[in-house]
Chain A
Amino acid sequence: MTTDWPYLDVHQSRTHEPTPYEYRLASALEEVFTHEGHELADIVRGLNARQVHSPDGAPWTERSFRDEINRLGA
């Protein structure tokens, strides 16, 4: 841990630099939240319509989105 003054670190909440998949999912989520809504059904529809799928390539379901976002955001 550096002791140099001043400590100015943009990222203090991350454990790793996000992967390209994580960046893609995050931007798609912001778009969906902006244009389609804040419900689980909106998210699943919105992400699938944008072809932003889960890591195994399968279209999202409410269940798989909950699981994945819990893994990424816990």
Chain B
Amino acid sequence: MSADGIAAPPGASPLAAIRAVPRAGWHVATVAATHRETPNASRIELDVDGWPGNAAGQHLDVRLTAPDAYTATRSYSIASSGDSTRVVLAVDKLPDGEVSPFLVDDLRAGDQLEVHGPLGAFFVWRPAVESGDDRPVQLIAGGSGVVPLYAMAHAHADASDPTPFRLLYSVRTPRDVYFADEWRALAAASAPLQVDLVYTRQAPDDWPAPPGRITREALEAAVIPAAERPRVYVCGSTGFVERVADWLVGLGHAPGDIRTERYGGT
């Protein structure tokens, strides 16, 4: 956040120093690649003409236009960050959705759509050298809510940032884990990251705990203690975020240290 009073990096203009994130705008995006991320989700790589770059954790709006000028707009978290005009999304298919089934099943390389962004400067993480905040970071994801948190962990590794990171990731089955290979690489990188998984429907054979919804006790055991004043980012469905945020406050985390992003819609 700009209000933390951090000195401008050398060479930056005063305005760039105080502007936390690039200005949002509408851009035409061309699909560079799309592939299955999980049985129910696709990773979509977009080349976005004029994209000003984005901070880790930001989102964008996708607008689709039908031949009769009907449009549908939905928000998606961005899995990538930095200056690149290559923007990566990972989209979960909602069963009754109007937009997500199209994006997951029908979109192919070369297709074009419109994107609006980058959006939101609140649910973002910036390296400690920029933010001046080196408190540990706890990430908590439910399902596809892992996408903006993956962007944060990736930016953290890219910056070789020394801030301790821990991720608690609740997911239905092992096949539903987003960025499975990437998490292994990030955990092995020099930036400190610990990943804890909770399986809600089906766990791997050798998993120590039976599958089930995360409990308050499991949460307490797997998150950085409140005494260490971690900054906490929670993203998932409304119900998941609400439960987790209530438990965190009950465990002594200051509400102001918890940032949440609920998702809904189709």
Whether chains A and B associate is no
Q: Which residue numbers of A lie inside 8 Å of B, CB to CB?
A: none
